Amino acid sequence: MTKKNIAIPKMKTVTPTLDLTLVTEMRLIMGIQTLKTMCLIVHHYFHCPMTNLTLPAGKECYHPFASQLDWEIAQWAVTEKISQKALDRLLNVPQVQQKLGLSYENSRGMLKCIDEIPERCGKWRTKQLSFHDKPGEHFTVYHRDPVEAIKALWGDPAFAEHLVYKPGKLFRGAEQTENNRIYSEMWTTGFWNAVQHAIPVGGTVCPVIIASDKTNLTRFSGNKSAYPVYLTIGNLPKAVRRKPSARACVLIAYLSVDKPNKQGLTKKDLKLRTYEIFHHSMAHVLEPLKSAGNPKTGGIEMVGGDGNVRKVYPLLCTYVADYPEQCLVTCTKYGTCPKCQRKANDLGIMKEAHDTSHDVAGGIEPFWKDFPLTDIHDCITPDILHQLRHFKKGIADFSQVTGTEHKHIARILLASLTGKVDQRGIVACKALLNFIHLAQYPSHDEDTLGYMDLELNVWHKNKAYFVEQQTTKDQINIPKFHSLLHYVNSIKWLGTTDNYNTEAFERFHIDMAKEAWDAPINAITSSDDPTNIRIAKHPHETKKSLNAIANSHNAPGFIPALKLYINSLLPKEGQVTKAEALSIGCLPFTLLDVWHHFKFTPMCQKK
Ligand SMILES: [Zn+2]
């Protein structure tokens, strides 16, 4: 890949983030801006065991560098953060270049070499979208071919021993009946077992998982943001997919973040235009999947990491997004259910049914139209992080018990409610907490799914307490609670929630750290009712630079401590060692809001 092909977008600076893959991808569409950014890129390529694995042995393996020494010098220059000018001065020393046999005579030549490192998951392309009524207005999408990305995952030798090529059914005990099924990995699910019969005999299904992240726009330096789309495949076990270092999630697109020009558009038109931009962009990005997955005419021969050639049918099976984006993806009106399209007023109804007659944002052609064997509503998965953070956040983050089990949280929560709400309130909360705990089981059978139904029934029977108290009236019918109804079926259809929760993708952004800092406490009972710990709505100091915080609070250890804290917030498999966390050059943000105090109300002082 050469730099010439790439249009450089408005965003010009890249702040290195903790995620090296992301930085690598950003480089591709932005060009190398600084040696610092490059440092991470080279670090990634040279230290990535997978890249090394895919390289052939011998001299060739240093291509595009001329020799081992050639790239080791580049690696040294980059990881030691040698300035371009200093490197040029070294290379200008007579005979240095010749004696070392270097292929580049200055830092520019070296950068060019790095640029020529072959791409793992296909070339980046640029697509300009515009609309008939405003031909002058363009929306830029950077993307690469999803089929190429799948091929790369499929053929990666590092995944060879992990890939699963056919579905199956797991049973507990000897009796192989539906009532004895166990649901866990993608290959045990209803989806894969069903579509396997819909493709030609001998074909291999590749369940495609797409995730996009609009609401938590990735924050780069300043107010720059990006709208990433990721792809991974259900053939890989969930543990592999969840591990950022395994590089099983491929960034396949950056969608436009530009807002459409309001001129001449009504409020409704403007909203529709936003939908159109998203769907047109995604239709363009995912177009290759449509023909590749077609059971009649599709099927792509792919070489697996095991060396075998298979005819692979990539089928879109899961779309991971938070609630607002689920609405966008399914063309469902905000406030209704993206799975069953139930109207906002009916979300409390305790029955699951498809009802497509109401409240659908119409008038646009959704990207998933004509996707083979895909029902986009079935693709929507419970978003355990967002749907249930309501309960997790306020408690977990501020009492510093992040990472502990829900049992632990439940204990704190229930204890803190005792004496404040009546028996029904306690029972309702307990049921909900049990449900959340059960929903995170890594495998389920009819019994455990039955327990989820039971807890949900108890919650619905007792939730009226909160309505009567007029504390959470608005929250009872919200889609969050309604969506709990879909968990059991979704687990049977797509696998347990640990297959597809958004945490796996959010991890790319370190947004959790941000939220831990600026999310106001969400009380489970009511916004009027004081919880244990409260902070002011507005920070005492906004957007204070990290260095300024360290200086003004006389806390030289603040930034290292913050790095360790952020690292500790990551799920276990995403964490790095203490030394690695401390060695990270830059955090993905430079400013923080500061609160000088919080209020703590002991239980006994509450009325
Ligand atoms: Zn629903």
Q: How many A from CA of 44 to the centre of ligand 1?
A: 43
Q: Is 388 exposed, middle or buried (0-12, 13-18, 19+ CB in 10 A)?
A: buried
Q: Tell me, in angstroms, the distance from the centre of ligand 1 to residue 127's CA.
A: 35
Residue 151 CA to ligand 1 center (angstroms) comes to 35
| Number of Cβ atoms within 10 Å of the Cβ of 72 | 14
Q: If you measure from the C-alpha of residue 202 to the centroid of ligand 1, how many angstroms do you get, rounded to a whole number? A: 36
* Model confidence pLDDT, tens digit, residues 366-379: 999 989 999 999 99
Start-to-end C-alpha separation, the chain: 67
Q: How far is the CA of 488 from the centre of ligand 1 (A)?
A: 12
- For residue 174, what are the contacts with CB-CB under 8 A and spacing of at least 6? none
Strands across the sheet containing 170-171: 170-171, 181-183, 444-445
- Mean pLDDT score of the chain: 74
Instruction: Please give the distance, rounded to the nearest whole angstrom, from the Cα atom of residue 571 to the centre of ligand 1.
Output: 29
Cα 434 to middle of ligand 1, angstroms: 21
- The CA 350 to ligand 1 mean position distance, Å, reads 10
Residue 365 structure tokens: 């052609």
pLDDT of residue 534: 63
Over residues 477-497, mean pLDDT: 86
Distance of CA 340 from the midpoint of ligand 1 (Å): 4
C-alpha of residue 355 to centroid of ligand 1, in Å: 9
Q: In which element (H, E) is residue 591 found?
A: strand 591-594
Q: CA 193: distance to chain centroid? A: 26
Query: Which pLDDT value is given to residue 54?
Result: 34
- Decide if pLDDT at 405 tops 90: no
Q: How far is the CA of 486 from the centre of ligand 1 (A)?
A: 6
The most distant pair of C-alpha atoms in the chain lies apart, rounded to whole Å, by 85
**Per-residue model confidence (pLDDT) at position 52:** 33
pLDDT tens digits, one per residue of 447-472: 999 999 999 999 888 887 776 765 54
Q: How far is ligand 1, taken at its centre, from the CA of residue 358, in Å? A: 12
Task: Determine the distance separating the centroid of ligand 1 and the alpha carbon of 337, expressed in angstroms.
Answer: 5
Residue 245 Cα distances to 235, 325, 331, angstroms: 18, 27, 34
Q: How many C-beta neighbours within 10 Å does residue 148 have?
A: 16
Closest among 525, 554, 544, 530 to 590, alpha carbons compared: 544
Which three-class secondary structure state does DSSP give residue 135? strand
Number of H helices, E strands in the chain: 26, 15
Ligand 1 mean position to 279 CA, how many Å?
22
Please state, in angstroms and rounded to a whole number, the distance separating the CA atoms of residues 508 and 245. 11
CA of 458 to the centre of ligand 1 (A): 19
Q: How far is the CA of 471 from the centre of ligand 1 (A)?
A: 24
Ligand 1 center from residue 223 Cα (angstroms): 35
pTM for the model stands at 0.65
Measure 544 CA to ligand 1 centroid, in angstroms: 42
CA distance 475 to 155: 47
554: left (phi over 0), alpha (psi -120 to 50) or beta: left
Q: What's the pLDDT score for residue 346?
A: 57
Residues 322, 503 contacting (CB under 8 angstroms): no
